[in-house]
Amino acid sequence: MDERVKTDMGATAAALDYDAELMLRVRDGDGASFGVLLDKHRLSVIHFLYRMVQNHAVAEELAQEVFLRVYRSRSTYEPTAKFTTWLFRIATHLALNALRDGKHEKSQERLDDASGDLPVRQVSDKRPTVEASMVYESRLEEVRKAVATLPEKQRAAVLMHKYQDMEYSQIARVLNCSESAVKSLLFRAYESLRARLAHMA
Amino acid sequence: MDCPLETHEGSALLLAYSSGRLERESTVPLERHLETCPGCRQFVESQSSVWRALDSWEAPPVSADFDRRLYQRIEQQVSWWDMLLRPFRPVFHSRSLPIAAAAGVLIMAGVLLDRPAVVPITPPQQSAQVEALQPDQVEHAVDEVEMLDQFNHLMRSEPAEPAAKM
Ligand SMILES: [Zn+2]
């Protein structure tokens, strides 16, 4: 603890967060470190965005924008927060903007056209029975609709809590609100989800 | 009904338990409580169903050309973007004005030399910025994101990423 006072703040945060260290290297001109960060976080960012907007193409487009912005901001990057907090803050911001800009209309269309984004192989390869895959699809549809119905901030909070395994405190930093606000967002969100999904065994 | 867990803290506890994230020392007394409290038991059962339902929702695989498209965009956009943004950055980072100006000049030079932007452009001396660490840097990044949005709307004269629409 005493050591870190004298060293520069960048080194401190980097020691606490390997990603931040990588980002500092990107800032200092190391393009390979950007590749490492991309490898590490590509999937979680795309999946988060996919579940936010529920459209694969839009999610990938937004994810491209996220990483592009990370790269563009490299020269002003300072590790004042966990790297993933910063990353998901950008991702959430873009997702909320996209939803407000009306890109979600596409996602609503997709919701009605359930075949659109399903990992088709999973249902068709094994082909246990037609009914089984129909049951799978309709269950999935139900989950997607339940999540899509959540207000945007609640949705973002649930997705980070459930799929990114984030603590309340980190979600609070991403959403720029208090920890107790995050808790009530999550409680309300899970309450709605329980009402819609609890019957699913 | 006088369940002691009918509080925010109680809900947080039950939520953590239902998602398997409760530490062991809190798990044992909670399970003891669940044996006697149908309300909490019902909460846990339905929350666990939600958890399983969400587990079953897999995201589709990432497109094989995701990285290629990204690097292509970096190459296409970073150079002109830096060129445009640098002169405005002092509005947000007034302390780094000379650095930003120097960076602008460097990047202009880079563009003139037709240097591919994916090869990271060596940044100017950053040590001054490390000392002038701003605690709300995340805020600035988002400010910048907002500004980027406005710019994108202004600058998007071409259809965005035709390659991405495959
Ligand atoms: Zn109880």
What are the pLDDT digits (tens) for A129-173? Answer: 888 888 888 899 999 999 999 999 999 999 999 999 999 999 999
Domain chopping of chain B, boundaries: 4-56
pLDDT at B94: 42
Residues in chain A, pLDDT under 70: 1-16, 103-128, 201
Length of chain A: 201
Length of chain B: 166
Q: Residue B161 gets which letter from DSSP? A: -
* Token pair recorded at residue A32: 């390979």
Q: Which fold has domain A129-201?
A: Arc Repressor Mutant, subunit A (1.10.10)
Question: How far does residue A162's CA lie from ligand 1's centre (Å)?
Answer: 23
Q: Which fold has domain A1-105?
A: Rna Polymerase Sigma Factor; Chain: A (1.10.1740)
Considering only alpha carbons, which residue of chain B is nearest residue A30?
B120
CA distances from A139 to A145, A197, B49, B90, B125 (A): 10, 9, 12, 52, 56
Instruction: List the single residue in A28, A61, A81 with the smallest CB-CB distance to B123.
Output: A28
Tell me which chain A residues have a C-beta less than 8 angstroms from the C-beta of B138: 80-81, 85-86, 89, 173
- A78–B47: do the CB atoms touch at under 8 Å? no
Q: Cα A49 vs. chain centroid, distance in angstroms?
A: 5
CA distances from A58 to A47, A93, A110, B148 (A): 11, 14, 11, 18
The domain B4-56 is placed in CATH, from the list 1.10.10, 2.60.40, 1.10.357, 3.40.50, at 1.10.10
Instruction: List the single residue in A73, A118, A162 with the smallest CB-CB distance to B54.
Output: A162
Question: How far does residue B163's CA lie from ligand 1's centre (Å)?
Answer: 55
Smallest CA–CA distance, residue A156 to chain B, in Å, is 14
- List the single best residue of A182, A194, A196 to mutate versus B (max B Cβ within 10 A): A194
Question: Where do the H-state alpha helices sit in B65-163?
Answer: 66-85, 89-92, 97-112, 127-131, 137-155
- Report which residue type is found at A165: D
Q: Is the pLDDT of residue B26 over 50?
A: yes
- A51–B57: do the CB atoms touch at under 8 Å? yes
pLDDT at B6: 86
Domain chopping of chain A, boundaries: 1-105, 129-201
The ipTM, to two decimals, is: 0.81
A74-89 b/e with 16+ CB inside 10 Å = b? Answer: bbbbbbbbbbbbbbbb
pLDDT at B144: 53
pTM of the model: 0.70
Separation CA B120–CA B126 (nearest Å): 15
